[in-house]
């Protein structure tokens, strides 16, 4: 049984949780402490981020999902397995909108409230900025009018929370995205299950943003069209009764098709259809 740890109400990791479910690890979304998947040999533990790191590093759970920013001072027993190329957000310094900010020097001697003290401390040290770091649990604890702090350092996902607190983002310290981590000394049985899960996850990641494209083209233009969409691809080719026409089907980035669509139309390409792809196993 593979033990997987995720964070409760994990808006930041919502996309990776969806990937787990797409890979067959189905579990309820009611934030119960432990849930067992019926379709895959796994148990899902709902834990705070700091407990995910602790439990993975000590082998209490086998894998977990955290943000890049949680791994600044990671334990040597933790292996970073996959950095997911989506759901990224900023880890930023924000101030009340009425504050006049002219650069990092403004932070000297100021109080900065944050749930991520290690990341902020390392950043300030790298910039030779002496400021007081105030630990808080979340942004709702930041009340500048009560003198808690002059600025806040936190995740900025959509910016809506900043608006609610009348704040504005002034310094992006780092971009962070979900990361799949694992216990390096995982037992062989768990490692076999994990390897199977990775195959599924990689198949889902490979399909992200891609479509199956089918189109009718002039036979003598097949090579040129393929090179426009995805060089060196080997599409499926279906000849038509007409000697100068055929259908080709290939997999490419959907955005690429939109970029070259005007040129495709000029080349007499027609009957373009898009097919959804959930997984690609290479």
Task: For residue 233, give every residue at least 6 positions away whose Cβ sits within 8 Å of its Cβ, in sequence order, or none.
Answer: 226, 250, 251, 252
Per-residue HEC secondary structure of 251-270 comes to: EEEHHHHHHHHHHHHHCCCE
Tens of pLDDT along 232-256? 888 899 998 877 899 999 998 888 8
pLDDT at residue 106 greater than cutoff 90: yes
pLDDT value, residue 148: 78
**Cβ pair 176, 68 in contact under 8 A:** yes
Distance CA 157, CA 139 (A): 13
pLDDT value, residue 12: 62
**Mean of the pLDDT values across residues 86-107?**
89
Distance CA 80, CA 180 (A): 6
DSSP 228-251: HHSTT---EEEE-SSTTEEEEEEE
Tens of pLDDT along 179-227? 999 999 999 999 999 999 999 999 998 998 888 999 999 999 999 998 8
14 vs 18: which has the higher pLDDT: 18
């Amino acid at each position: 049984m593979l033990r997987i740890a995720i964070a409760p109400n994990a808006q930041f990791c919502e996309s990776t949780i969806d990937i787990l479910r797409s890979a067959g690890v189905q579990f309820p979304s009611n934030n119960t402490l432990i849930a067992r998947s019926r379709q895959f040999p796994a148990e899902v533990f709902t834990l705070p981020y700091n407990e995910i790191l602790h439990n993975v590093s000590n082998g209490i759970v086998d894998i977990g999902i955290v943000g890049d920013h949680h791994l600044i001072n990671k334990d040597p027993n933790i292996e970073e397995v996959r950095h997911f190329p989506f759901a990224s957000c900023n880890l930023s310094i924000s101030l009340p909108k009425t504050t006049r900010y002219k650069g990092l020097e403004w932070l000297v001697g100021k109080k900065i409230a944050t749930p991520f003290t290690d990341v902020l401390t390392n950043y300030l040290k790298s910039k030779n900025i002496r400021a007081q770091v105030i630990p808080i649990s979340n942004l709702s604890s930041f009340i500048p009018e009560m003198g808690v702090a002059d600025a806040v350092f936190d995740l900025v996902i959509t910016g809506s929370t900043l608006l609610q607190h009348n704040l504005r983002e002034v310094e992006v310290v780092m971009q962070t995205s979900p990361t799949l981590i694992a216990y390096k000394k995982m037992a062989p049985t768990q490692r076999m299950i994990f390897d199977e899960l990775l195959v599924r996850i990689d198949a889902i990641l490979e399909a992200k943003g891609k479509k199956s494209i089918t189109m009718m083209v002039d036979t003598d233009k097949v090579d040129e069209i393929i090179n426009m969409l995805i060089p060196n691809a080997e599409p499926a080719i279906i000849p038509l009764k007409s000697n100068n026409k055929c259908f080709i089907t290939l997999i490419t980035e959907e955005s690429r098709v939109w970029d070259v669509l005007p040129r495709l139309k000029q080349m007499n390409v027609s009957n373009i259809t898009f097919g959804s792809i959930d997984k690609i196993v290479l």
